[in-house]
Amino acid sequence: MKEVVTGVDIGGTNTVMGLVDRDGNILAEASLLTADYPKIQDFVNSVAEAINEMHKKAGSVNILGIGIGAPNGNYYKGTIEQATNLVWRGVIPVADMIEKKTSVKVVLTNDANAAAMGEMIFGAAKGMKDFIVLTLGTGLGSGIVVNGQMVYGHTGFAGELGHMVIVPGGRACGCGSHGCLETYASATGLVRTVLLLLSEMREESVLRQIPPAELTAKKVAEAALQGDPVALQAFDFTADKLALGIGNSVICTSPQAVFLFGGLVNAGELLFRPLRQYIDKYVMPWYRGRFEVLPSGIKEHNAAVLGAAALAWNELFI
C-alpha cells in the first residue's frame, strides 16, 4: 500500500487539496470554495469528505498525515488567528478540528512557511539548510529556514518580512503600519506604483487607457515587454524596494539563496534583471556574491498543495 500525506491549502477564495507521495507526485486532487462555508464546522466536514473522496479515487493508499497551509496559521497551536481574508473571525482551532474529524495527525502553519517547506522538500532548495522564500502575490509572505529548521519564533509568527518597514511613514498597509515592504514589492504594490507614476510621468503609456480598477500586475508586465516607459519604471522601482528588503533580511540569517515565488515572479527578467543590479546596492560587502536570488523550483499550480504536503512529510518522517 502506497504511503501518502494530504496537503491542504486554505485560501480566501479557494481551498485546494491533494494526496502527495514522498516524491512529490500528486495522486488525487480536490477543491472547495472557502467562502461557501461561513460556519467553520461545515468547512471542516467538507474537507474531511473531500479527503475521503480523494482516498477512494487514489485507490490503495495509506494517508499518514495532513499538512495545512493557511493565512495567519500558528504552527504551535494549530490555529488560524485573525485572518482578514477568510470568512471566519477570531482564533480557529482548525488543526484540532480536522484531526478529530479524520483521525489523522494534522500539522498547520502559515501559507508562506508551507511554501518554504515545499521548496526544501520538493523544490530548488533540496539539500540547502539556510534559505528564505518570498511569496510575491497580493501581499508579500515569507518563510525562513535556518540550519534546516523552519523559523517560527516565540509566538509562531516569526519571519513576516512583508511587514518590515522600508519607507518610514510610507504607504499605508493593511497591518496598520506604513511603509511595509509588501506595499511596494508585491503585485498590489506594483499597481500602486504604476498609478503614482502615471500622475508624475508625461510619457505616453498604454496603461493610461486602462481604468485604475482594472489595472493588474499582469497587464503592467505585458506593457513592460512592449517597452512601455511607465511599466518599465514601475518594475525598476519595485526591484529597488525588493532589493532593499532582501538586503535587510540576509544579514539576519546569511542564507545560501533567496527564492522568489508568486504571480509577480512570472514577469521573469523584467523583475530579476533590475533586482540583480540593485542587490549589491543594499547588501553589506561581506554578503555580496555569497547568496543567490532565484525563482522557485516548484510549478505555481502545484505549489500550494505540495507546500502543505511537505509540511506533513517533514513533521512526520524527516
Same domain, residue pair 201 and 187: yes
pLDDT at 301 over 80: no
Same domain, residue pair 227 and 308: no
Same domain, residue pair 132 and 146: yes
End-to-end CA distance of the chain: 20
Q: 237-271, pLDDT tens digit by residue?
A: 999 999 999 999 999 999 999 999 988 998 999 99
Residue from 60, 49, 61, 34 nearest 102 by CA: 49
Same domain, residue pair 105 and 51: yes
pTM: 0.92
Same domain, residue pair 135 and 87: no
Q: Cell for 274?
A: 533590475
What is the structure's pLDDT at 315? 85
Could you list the residue range(s) of the whole structural domain that residue 251 is in?
A: 128-295
Mean pLDDT in the chain?
94
Same domain, residue pair 290 and 305: no
Query: What percent of the chain is predicted at pLDDT more than 90?
Result: 87
Instruction: State the Cα–Cα distance between residues 292 and 276, nearest whole angstrom.
Output: 9
- Number of helical H runs and strand E runs in the chain: 8, 13
Same domain, residue pair 78 and 225: no
Same domain, residue pair 288 and 215: yes
Same domain, residue pair 143 and 287: yes
Same domain, residue pair 94 and 212: no
For residue 61, the domain's CATH number is 3.30.420.40
Distance of CA 143 to the CA centre of its chain: 8
CB atoms within 10 A of CB 23: 6
Same domain, residue pair 102 and 27: yes
pLDDT at 318 over 70: no
Q: Following DSSP, what letter does each residue of 199-215 receive, concatenated?
A: HH--S--GGGGS-GGG-
Same domain, residue pair 82 and 173: no
Residue from 68, 93, 63, 73 nearest 156 by CA: 73
Task: Specify the number of domains making up the chain.
Answer: 2
